[in-house]
Chains A and B, each alone.
Chain A
């Protein structure tokens, strides 16, 4: 019966749908064109650092639109940067270890530490245009989105099978052809999943990047983040609710219109030899594939351009000789490397020295305060991880072991993961203040809110990955609860739990900056902690303290990664791998 059913449905689709699909695609293209015009008009208008935010829901669509544009421009920049960075790191043996170490450190620097520098630089680049402020905000979001994508692309490139690389070499692929036919497709799945994480991170920071003071100046951009903050500051709960509904809508729409089609599409890049049964489906993707407008555009623009491109590349290659795989670079280039390396070393050395001189201005007592704050934040982060694990492990295992439940929970969870915890912060802070809980404890709640989901999803996935035979053994031999947990469940979910904890720990550290210091109703709420110290230093334009605090945080994060997470991850990969 089934084949007939699908056949008849496909038939109906063919007869009636193309017209509507083409209509909607055309409408989509027109709307995109108008949106670009609108954004351009706004960006090139004269600069208004502190826009007034209206709390009426009627303004929400426009605010949401501005925020979405910021997120995706930052995302596009991240994608290009990640590919360029990953590519250089993977193929340039001389720079590889340096670039990867840099990535590791950059990943551990909180977004807000970049804020004053980026903002002031952008303002001086475009002093009279809105573009400057906009770009400042976009660059900040970019720093929250880019690192994991660069890392993903790099690892993908490094794991391309040798024979595939050789096939491109022996068939004389140009670099571009290799990029489009081998490297990008091979990395596509990793990039898609990391894009989802990145955009979620982007929203997380957008909430703070749209409204902030730097030194004596206040910045406020029209957007969803500033709307939510303003609404919360005025205690306008109707407006907060409208804002949150908009946020949920955006997350759901992004998931349906962008991520699901992308995941379904990227399925063809799976590097597998047999077709797997279970796959994500997306009606939107089917619609796009059936659209004849897009087909025509493809046939008359992209394809001819690509053809020209390949011909050009082949002609250019003919003039050069083919190089063997992994061939050594020419002698001449070594000299260039040495010279540029030396120049860079001097420049970096001087700049680093200058920066360290800044630190001289900090008193000993200030340093002690910073270290104390670091200790407190470390405690909070770990408390958040502990509380998070305590409730998510049993719940996650329960969900994972129940196929019916996890079938419903999975898509909901995916959307929940994309929802920025920072959007809820103002609301929760107000609630905490009503109850009389200070920010010292309250910030743990906020960190927990930002970090616990990572643990939950990974535990669910881990519980699902435990083979049912192992669970049957436990039942067969009548393992008691303790034994069941210690011999089957905990070792089974261990690799997933570690992955979740690593991500959650990163999320908690990031959240500490927003959680320990918050501007609400025109006054600053804060508690002693490294995150608060970074925020205040950034707000006051106190660069020596900002630098010192950032260095301390980066040092702590990198050290914990090296000493705790990496060995645990190694253990998970070797001893607790279920094969």
Chain B
């Protein structure tokens, strides 16, 4: 076997939270990139895909472990990499040509050479004639072409791509993907390996020679396998769909908890979120959960998650939180990549709005510790009001600062919908919900605000 270009040895990433707790983002991971392959890194949000990419490309340092470049430490090695960014990261005040020339300028190449090489690469990516345009004059697809040109102009040994197609519409993304594949296969570009981060399963199967699937909390490798389908790959092909289905199964299978908890050199323990009291709330809206359950009922009460994603044209980052939320609330059972509705779920989906809220309230209290704690605290306090810090303090032993906020936001969203409590956003306080006689009028009003948002998301 050939030697790897980049090799990560037991790299991990954690953030110091308080004195004796650190939040582990990426568990110790081994990973290698070999010449001649396109590696796709696939995983749900929160699995640390981008963090891993930044550690491998030398943009950020691992908290522990080593990244080797041709066997040498990344710090002392002369590395030649590029990144294509999700947001393109072009300089809006530079023309297309100036944007592409900038990395060469940084390397001290003289003007005539720089100009010739930039023009050549612009020609290669199909931007001939756009040299003098500014990025804002271009469409999204054209802009990402500039992003590719800027990344390729330095002839990187490894090309990193951080969800490069996810900001583009479906057709443009398809077009750009196949052009990239063509450049790669015809060896028009001297790049030896491509490392692609994505949350689009089909995209990974379309492009990659090897797929690494990450799990989350903390990020860790769940599976790492080769894809030997011949190019061009067809989405309707039997082998293709089988592979996509397999990845869905891997992603929905319950994760096994690793037995040993890593202990740091200074004796502190790294906390693993799966051993915590709080379950991680998936960031889904109640309206989305109801919509998903209704769709599953229409599909006969049991369906393939892959089919579900296809039906909704959702990517896994859109679909998984909703599926997980329904699962957490006991409305849905997931096994072997299949989702089956439970009797509670069926009752919930088919009830009218007030009854629905009641069922949601019951499920939330039964299954979500955080919501249970909030309602209990509100009932016990004499003024029936609790500031958010109180719960943030409890959560932050377990989640990063940002995730704490997200957790609380989702809890507020659910709790408000279920009429478990009220939330005063200006004062950042939870208040006890007052049930009055004509309180029922509030229900539909809530739904009105909920509806359009969901539509927006689906559209």
A residues sitting closer than 8 Å to B (CB atoms) are 161, 163-164, 166-167, 169-174, 177, 181-182, 185, 188, 268-275, 307, 310-311, 313-315, 317-318, 321-322, 324-327, 571, 574-575
Q: Bound complex: CA of A428 vs CA of B171, how far in Å? A: 69
Check B91–A182 contact: CB distance below 8 A.
yes
- Residues of chain B at interface, number, CB under 8 A: 35
Q: Bound state CA distance, A167 and B100, in angstroms?
A: 12
Contact yes or no, A311 B83, CB < 8 A: no
A321 touches B59 (CB 8 A): no
Partner of A325 from B59, B94, B102, B106 at Cβ < 8 Å: B59
Is B337 part of the contact surface with A, judged by Cβ < 8 Å? no
List 14 contacting pairs A-B, 8 Å CB cutoff, sorted by A.
A161-B87, A167-B83, A169-B59, A171-B150, A172-B107, A174-B106, A188-B93, A272-B136, A275-B136, A313-B106, A313-B108, A318-B108, A327-B61, A574-B426
Chain B residues near A161 (CB, 8 Å)?
Answer: 87, 89
Cα separation A163 to B59 with both chains bound (whole Å): 11
Instruction: Say whether B137 faces chain A, with CB atoms less than 8 Å apart.
Output: yes
- Complex CA gap A172/B150 in Å reads 13
Is the pair A171, B106 in contact by a Cβ cutoff of 8 Å?
yes
Find the residue from B76, B93, B154 having the highest chain A CB count within 10 A: B93
Flag if B91 contacts A164 (CB, 8 Å): yes
The yes or no answer to B4 lying at the interface (CB within 8 A) is: no
Nearest CB in chain A: distance from B420 CB, A = 24
Q: CB of B58 within 8 A of chain A?
A: yes
What A residues does B86 contact at CB under 8 A? Answer: 163
Closest to B162 in A: A163
Neighbour of B60 across the interface among A310, A317, A324, CB < 8 A: A324
In the assembled complex, which residues on chain B have CB atoms less than 8 Å from the CB atom of A574? Answer: 425-426
**Contacts of B94 on A, CB cut-off 8 Å?**
181
Chain B proximity of A565: nearest CB distance (Å): 17
State whether A177 and B92 are in contact (beta carbons under 8 Å apart), knowing that A268-B134, A575-B426 are contacts in the complex: no
- Chain B residue contacts of A318, Cβ below 8 A: 108
Min distance, Cβ A170 to any Cβ of chain B, angstroms: 5
B102, A181: Cβ atoms under 8 Å? yes
Interchain CB contact under 8 A, B81 and A172: no
A172 contacts across to B, CB distance below 8 A: 103, 106-107
- Check B106–A170 contact: CB distance below 8 A: no
A310 to B89, CA, bound (A): 22
* A311 x B136 contact (CB < 8 A): no
Establish whether residues B59 and A314, one from each chain, have CB atoms under 8 Å apart when the complex forms: no
Contacts of B445 in A (CB 8 A): none
Question: Is there a chain A Cβ closer than 8 Å to B169's Cβ?
Answer: no
Q: Is B75 an interface residue (CB 8 A)?
A: yes
Instruction: Given A177-B102, A272-B92, A307-B110, check contact A321 B85 (CB 8 Å).
Output: no
A321 touches B76 (CB 8 A): yes
Task: Point out the residues of chain B lying under 8 angstroms from A271, CB to CB.
Answer: 92
Q: Within the assembled complex, what's the spacing in Å between the Cα atoms of A268 and B93?
A: 6
Are B58's CB and A324's CB within 8 A? yes
**What is the minimal beta-carbon distance from B245 to any residue of chain A, in angstroms?**
33
Which residue of B is nearest A177, CB measured?
B106
Q: Which residue of B lies closest to A314 (CB)?
A: B108
Which B residues lie within 8 Å of A167 (CB)? 83, 85, 89, 150
Interface centre among A171, A185, A313 (most CB of B within 10 A): A171
Contact with A along B295-314 (1 / 0, CB 8 A): 00000000000000000000
Pairwise interchain contact B92-A166, C-beta atoms closer than 8 A: no
A275 to B136, CA, bound (A): 6
B57 adjacent to A170 (CB under 8 Å): yes
| List of 6 A-B pairs having minimum Cβ-Cβ separation, nearest first | A314-B108, A171-B103, A163-B89, A167-B89, A185-B93, A163-B85
